[in-house]
Amino acid sequence: MGSITLEHVNKSFGEVEIIPDISLEIEDGEFVVFVGPSGCGKSTLLRLIAGLEDTTSGHIKLDGEDVTGAPPARRGLAMVFQSYALYPHMSVRDNIAFPLKMAKMPQAEIDKKVEYAARTLNLGSYLDRRPRALSGGQRQRVAIGRAIVREPKAFLFDEPLSNLDAALRVNMRLEITELHQQLKTTMIYVTHDQVEAMTMADRIVVLNAGNVEQFGSPLELYKRPANRFVAGFIGSPKMNFVDGPEAEKHNAHSIGVRPEHFTLSTTAGAGQWAGTVNVAEQLGSDTFLHVEVEGLGLMTVRTDGEQTFRHGDKVYLTPDANRIYRFDAAGLALQD
Amino acid sequence: MARNASVQTKVGFTVLAWTVALLLFSPILWTIVTAFKTEAEAIATPPTFLPLTFTLDNFGDVQDRSDYIKHAWNSILVSVGSTLLGLVIAIPAAWSMAFAPTKRTKDILMWMLSTKMMPAVGVLIPIYLIFRDLRLLDTVHGLTIIMTLINLPIIIWMLYTYFKEIPVDILEAARMDGAELWNEIVHVLVPMAIPGIASTLLLNVILAWNEAFWTITLTSGRAGTLTAFISSFSSPQGLFLAKLSAASLLAIAPILLLGWFSQKQLVRGLTFGAVK
């Protein structure tokens, strides 16, 4: 079991309030991602759950039991750090065995569990090496191995993939998702990368300046963002926003259109936004056009990779009328 | 021509370095050669450099007059004992300063260092009286305690600098892995800090071994260390240069050898954290 409840958690460092007031309900077995720009308090929130930081006020409960004041060693959670944080003076085997040794497990059982973890994570041939003799991806696997052997109530991941190169990151992302499907243990995963958040999470917590902007499934966040911040943060490339008279036509303070929700044409027609291509980024499968629209500013448009555009090309954009997001003056989403 | 000039510069610097080193070493060298001279030759004018009559009598006389082995044993007990005791106190102290600092940590570190700036004689009378009342005068454990206390600031400072180099993530990982404070220090922090702890240990053994002020004032016969042993030879009975030299040589030989064999570790230890 591994349900985690936060009740009015507040964290301040001296005068500086990092997390004003957060309440969250994370269910057993869920994969929850904390996402937000750097400095939004997502890592602090994870460290509060881990017990590595003390809460200033509020309560943290694990399976209904209040652990607010409990040290990390007593919480039964496992954490994977961005820096891997392996013990450099121990072999891979001893690194993975360390939490079991701390739990005073009999040696025979430790050996069995270490072997199992090593097999699961393809670390069999590295067991007697020191961490410094491993590559970044292998180190990350050891860190995960060390986390899974003790069968924790929940796993906490603190930006575990940000030190890996792009290709490896995609691989490890899949491996962690598979691991979750296999273990069915609660996982909380911190990242600033919204692609990781979208692809891995059951539910996403979008944080901004220490506040929860929205908590929901990836598609919920994509389709029904609660406010302008979430709308701009979730989705890649980012949503385009338009203020002023164009927004007022839709009875809103501002409107948002995702790059993939435009119809592009090279001939003029009614209800279209006329613009000039500034930069065309060709990815093969897609092309991202950065279009300077007269009177509205720079827009990003996603189109298929079949057509070729050049700097200075004249284009006409039609926003999909059913997929225009409307926001009020405070940035909150307006319901239709 | 640039190459020639650089060779000349190299030779120049080498000669200069050797000259400075020999000048600094000359008193010790003089002590060593004098230890093997007769008393008469030791005070002869003009002085001789190498002994005309090579003799080992001085060493025999020194051992006969005051027990070298006993003093050497006391020196070992006090220097090693005070360093180990110091480490036991300093490792947790440095841990808390490096990994759980408060607003006052920097001030406390400075305050500890400031105690080293105070002349020892300033606290001679209170410490002497405390030692007298607690019956610690002329005892090895009394001397070990005072030696621990005077070197503790240096031990804590050195360990603090080493510990600061250890990524806090690794200690946090140990906490997440279920290690309580004791296990975190014993299984993770100490093994990672072994080079730093070894340098600290060596330096403090040397400092305690060479300490003279407190050993001479707080001991007489029983608990005297080698520094007290040397000073007993500059006696009112007259100056016996050859015997004094023999005694000095006996006193500094062990630590000189220790320093020689561990110089790599010491240099690494003392410059650790200076770069990077």
* Count of structural domains within chain B: 2
Is residue A34 located within the same domain as residue A165?
yes
CATH number at residue B166: 1.10.3720.10
Residue type, A230: V
A311 and A205 in a common domain: no
Local structure of residue A332 (DSSP, 8 states): B
Instruction: Let me know if residue B271 belongs to a domain.
Output: no
- Chain A: residue whose CA lies nearest to B193: A89
A150-189 pLDDT tens trace? 899 999 999 999 888 888 889 889 999 999 999 999 999 9
Partner B, chain A 92-131, Cβ-Cβ below 8 Å: 98-99, 102-103
Tell me the nearest-neighbour CA distance from B198 into chain A, angstroms.
Answer: 16
**Read out DSSP for A271-313?**
TPEEEEEEEEEE-SSEEEEEEEETTTEEEEEEEETTS---TT-
Would you say residue A112 has pLDDT above 60?
Answer: yes
pTM above 0.95, yes or no: no
Q: How many Å lie between the alpha carbon of B166 and the closest alpha carbon of chain A?
A: 11
* Interchain pair A52, B177: CB under 8 A: no
Residue A336 inside a domain? The answer is no
User: Do B228 and B98 have their domain in common?
Assistant: yes
C-alpha distances (whole Å) from B78 to each of B63, B86, B143, B147, B266 are 21, 11, 7, 7, 20
Residue in chain B closest to A78 (alpha carbons) equals B176
The answer to whether residues A230 and A332 touch, using CB atoms and an 8 Å cutoff, is no
- Residue A71 contacts B, CB cutoff 8 Å: yes
The chain-wide mean pLDDT, for chain A, equals 92
- Residue B199 structural domain: 66-232
Domain count, chain A: 2
| Tens digit of each residue's pLDDT, chain B (276 residues) | 455 668 889 999 999 999 999 999 999 999 999 999 988 888 888 888 888 888 888 888 888 888 888 999 999 999 999 999 999 999 999 999 999 999 999 999 999 989 888 888 989 999 999 999 999 999 999 999 999 999 999 999 999 999 999 999 999 999 999 999 999 999 999 999 988 898 899 889 999 999 989 999 998 878 888 888 888 877 655 678 888 888 889 888 888 888 888 877 777 666 654 443
Tokens of B172: 């946090």
Count residue pairs from A and B with Cβ separation < 8 A. 60
The ipTM assigned to this model is 0.87
Same domain flag for A138 and A100:
yes
H helices of A77-135, in order, are 92-102, 107-120
Write out chain B residues lying below 8 Å of A83, CB-based: 167, 169
pLDDT of residue A294: 87
A78 has a chain B CB within 8 A of its CB: yes
